[in-house]
Structure 1
Amino acid sequence: MDNKSYTTEFSVNQTPGECFNAIKNFRGWWSEEIEGETDKLGETFLYHYKDVHLSKLRLSGEIPDKKLVYDVLDNQFSFTENKNEWRGTKLVFEVSENNGRTTVKFTHDGLVPEEECYNVCTDAWGNYINNSLYNLISTGRGVPNPKEADGFNAEIVKKWNLT
C-alpha cells in the first residue's frame, strides 16, 4: 500500500472477532443493495447505488480476526470522466487489539488524491466506516444504503458490462 491511499480508523470495546465479522457483513454497514456473498474467501459480489456507482468485488485475502482484503475487479461511476476509476484497487481492513480496545483500520489502497472521485469517495468512506461500520460494531445497528423499492437493478449491471 502506498502512503497516499485513503485511510481511516476507529477503536471500540468489542473483540477483534466481533469487529471482523461485522466488517464482512457489507449489507449491515455499506448497502442493502449487494448481490452475492461478502464473507467467503474467493467469492465475488456486486455493490450498487442507484445509477451512480456499481462495483464488483472479491474477498481475496483473509487472516481471521486480523485482516481482510477485497479486490475491486470492476467499477463504474456515472459522475466521473474515468468511469472505472476504482478498478484494480483494494479495500483493506486491519483489526488489532491493544489494552482491551480493538482498532479497525480501513485503507482504500489506490484511492489517491489525484483521482477524480477522491473528495466524494473519501467523504463517503468516512461516513460508511466511521459512522455506519462503527455503529454496526458498537451498537449492532449500522446505517447502510437502503434497498431500492424495485430491488437490485440487474439492468445496470448489463448496461455497464459488469457481469
Structure 2
Amino acid sequence: MSQDYTTTITVAATPQRAFDAISDVAAWWGRITGTTAAVGDEFVYVVPGLHYSGFRVTALEPGSLVEWLVTGSYLDFVDDHQEWNGTTVRFEITPAGDGAAVVFTHEGLGQDVPCYETCANAWSMFVRGSLKALIETGRGTPYEFTGGEQLLPHEHEALHQGIAEAVGRL
C-alpha cells in the first residue's frame, strides 16, 4: 500500500487555538451530527448523494493531537463505497516559530486507493483553506448545504443513529 495522504499547514496561532478550531468540525468542514469534545464521542458528516462518514474520536491531547477513526462511510463516486471504513484521520499540532504547524494525515488513504485524487483534493481544500482560515481568522469556509442536497435536522440525526447502532453491533 502506498503512503497515506498527508498535508501540513503553518498557522499564525497558538497550538491550543489550532486544536480548538480542529475540534469545531462544523466551522471548517460542514454540518455534523454528534459531538467531538471527548474521546469516544461520535459524529457524522454527510453530503447527500455523494458522501457520508461516521467518526469516533480516538485521541484528544489539548494543543497537540486530534484523532478520529472512520466507523462507517459511503462514497458514491468509487466502486468500493466503503473504502474509508477503518481508516484514521489525525491532526498533529506542534509549536512552529510564532505559531503552530498542523500535520494532517488520513491514514489508509493512499495513492493506490480509488478515491485518492478526489479525496486528497477535498481534504486539501478543507484543511489548507477552510481550517487554516478558521484557525487564523476565526472564520472557516465549510461546505454549505442548499437545495435538494440539504438534509433536515431529523434526517441527519437518523443517519447518525444508524451508524451508532451499526458500530454497536461490531
Question: What residue is the counterpart of 1:38 in the other structure?
Answer: 36
**CA 73–115 in structure 1, closer or farther in 2 if over 3 Å, else same:** same
Partner of 1:5: 4
CA distance 1:52–1:104, shift in 2 (3 Å) = same
Q: Aligned partners of 1:135 and 1:105: how far apart in 2?
A: 16
Q: Does 1:140 align with 2:138?
A: yes
TM-score by length of 1: 0.90
Which string of whole-angstrom CA distances, capped at 9 and with x for unpartnered residues, describes residues 23-68 of structure 1? 0000000012x11002221111111012110111011112221011
Equivalences for residues 42-53 of structure 1 within 5 A: 42-53=40-51
Structure 2 unaligned runs (5+)? Answer: 165-170
AA aligned opposite 1:90: T
CA-based RMSD: 2.0
Q: Which residue of the partner structure matches residue 78 of structure 2?
A: 80
Tell me how far apart the structure 1 counterparts of residues 2 and 57 of structure 2 sit (CA, whole Å). Answer: 22
1:120 matched to 2:121: no
**Equivalent in the alignment of 2:168:** none
Q: CA deviation at 1:3?
A: 7.2
Task: Give the structure 2 partner of residue 157 of structure 1.
Answer: 159
Residues 49, 156 of structure 1: alpha-carbon distance in 2 compared, 3 angstrom cutoff = farther
Task: Return the offset for 1:14.
Answer: 0.6
Aligned position for 2:87? 89
8 Å CA contact 1:51–1:156 kept in 2: the answer is no
In the alignment, what sits opposite 1:68? Answer: 66
Q: Residue 146 of structure 1: CA displacement?
A: 1.5
**Which of structure 1's runs of 4+ aligned residues deviate more than 6 A?**
none
1:59 matched residue in structure 2? 57
Using the alignment, how far apart are the partners of 1:115 and 1:69 within structure 2?
Answer: 21
> Identity percentage over the alignment?
31
Q: Is the 8 A contact 2:33 2:156 kept in 1?
A: no
Instruction: Give the whole-Å Cα distance in 2 for the aligned partners of 1:107 and 1:52.
Output: 22
> Aligned runs of 1:12-27 on 2, under 5 Å?
12-27=11-26
Kindly provide the amino acid, as one letter, of the partner of residue 8 in structure 1. T
Runs of at least 5 residues in structure 1 that lack an aligned partner in the other structure: none
Count of aligned positions: 159
